[in-house]
């Protein structure tokens, strides 16, 4: 059995489809009862397959999502300046 729902794509915001289904073939041994949620977007080629019972990701593909990198300018964590929670000093972290 399969239920289809129209949603906004979490990646690009276009109309996407979310399929709630009981998969006949075993995809993941850790997914109880094979209850699977699959989200697909034809616009940006987004795909997310999760276990409906516990939310674990079984398969994911999302092209175009950039992973931001942080240029900290320190090579080791012990070189970072110590800042107390009460201090008003701000660290200057430039996102690239």
Interval 44-64: pLDDT, tens: 899 999 988 888 898 999 887
Using CA atoms, how far apart are residues 64 and 59, in angstroms rounded to an integer? 17
* Mean pLDDT of all residues belonging to the chain: 73
Asked whether residue 38 carries a pLDDT value surpassing 50, the answer given is: yes
C-alpha closest to that of 37 among 57, 51, 26: 51
C-alpha closest to that of 14 among 46, 48, 43: 43
Q: Which pTM was predicted?
A: 0.59
Is 57 in contact with 49 (CB distance < 8 Å)?
yes
Using CA atoms, how far apart are residues 22 and 68, in angstroms rounded to an integer? 36
pLDDT average, residue stretch 15-35: 77
Asked whether residue 16 carries a pLDDT value surpassing 90, the answer given is: yes
């Amino acid at each position: 059995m399969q239920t289809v729902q129209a949603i906004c794509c979490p990646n690009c915001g276009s109309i996407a489809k979310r399929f709630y289904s009981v998969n006949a073939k075993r995809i993941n041994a850790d997914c109880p009862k094979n209850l699977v949620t699959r989200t697909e977007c034809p616009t940006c080629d987004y795909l997310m397959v999760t276990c409906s019972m516990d939310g674990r990701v079984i398969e994911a593909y999302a092209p175009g999502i950039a992973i931001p990198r942080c240029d900290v300018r320190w090579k080791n964590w012990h070189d970072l300046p110590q800042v107390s929670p009460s201090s008003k000093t701000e660290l200057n972290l430039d996102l690239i």
